[in-house]
Amino acid sequence: MLKPHDRLRIAREQSGKTAQDLANAAGISVPHYYDLEAHDDELFMTLSLRELRELCQSLAVSARYLFANGPRKDNGSVVSFVSIAAALSGYLREHKVSQDAFENKIGWSLGSLAANPELAWEWNVDCLRDVCSELQIDWMAALPS
């Protein structure tokens, strides 16, 4: 089974683009790009969702493709950052917890996400996955397209 860093390398090779091309597209350094292809955790931890979107657009692949863990039925559903912010607000009300308590539970600071869902573009994939997991949202559906 291919891992995300393998899918990234294959997509680059098939696109005919260089590491420099993709680093420029994502706004990262060339060594950082090579780390993305060499170490699986780099794709999860070191790129913002904005950088991931730019990288995927440059390769003409979806982020879902990179992170697919084997065959997956993709119903085409998309979860927006606005939906995540709304789900967070609902979760806090329903569970009668503060945002600070939620952040402590998941290990990430979310800032003023409820007021500005666009802040989620600065999250990495690990953060998105952890937030969505706690909110019982399909994190793959929330990946940038």
The CATH number covering residue 9 comes to 1.10.260.40
Is 117 contained in some domain?
A: yes
- 113 near 121, Cβ under 8 Å? no
In a shared domain, residues 54 and 93: no
CATH number at residue 94: 1.10.260
Could you tell me the pLDDT band of residue 143, with boundaries at 50, 70 and 90?
A: very high
In a shared domain, residues 35 and 90: no
In a shared domain, residues 106 and 54: no
- pLDDT at residue 73 in the model: 53
Using CA atoms, how far apart are residues 123 and 145, in angstroms rounded to an integer?
15
pLDDT of residue 97 exceeding 80, the answer is yes
Is 112 contained in some domain?
A: yes
In a shared domain, residues 88 and 132: yes
Is 75 contained in some domain?
A: no
Is 19 contained in some domain?
A: yes
Average pLDDT over residues 87-91: 97
Number of folded domains that form the chain: 2
Boundaries of domain holding 59: 4-67
Domain boundary among 67, 95, 115: 67
- pLDDT at residue 85 in the model: 97
Is 25 contained in some domain?
A: yes
Could you tell me the pLDDT band of residue 70, with boundaries at 50, 70 and 90?
A: low
Is 47 contained in some domain?
A: yes
Domain boundary among 67, 94, 115: 67
pTM reported for the whole predicted model? 0.93
What is each CA distance from 50 to 74, 98, 123, 130, in whole angstroms? Answer: 22, 27, 8, 17
In a shared domain, residues 33 and 58: yes
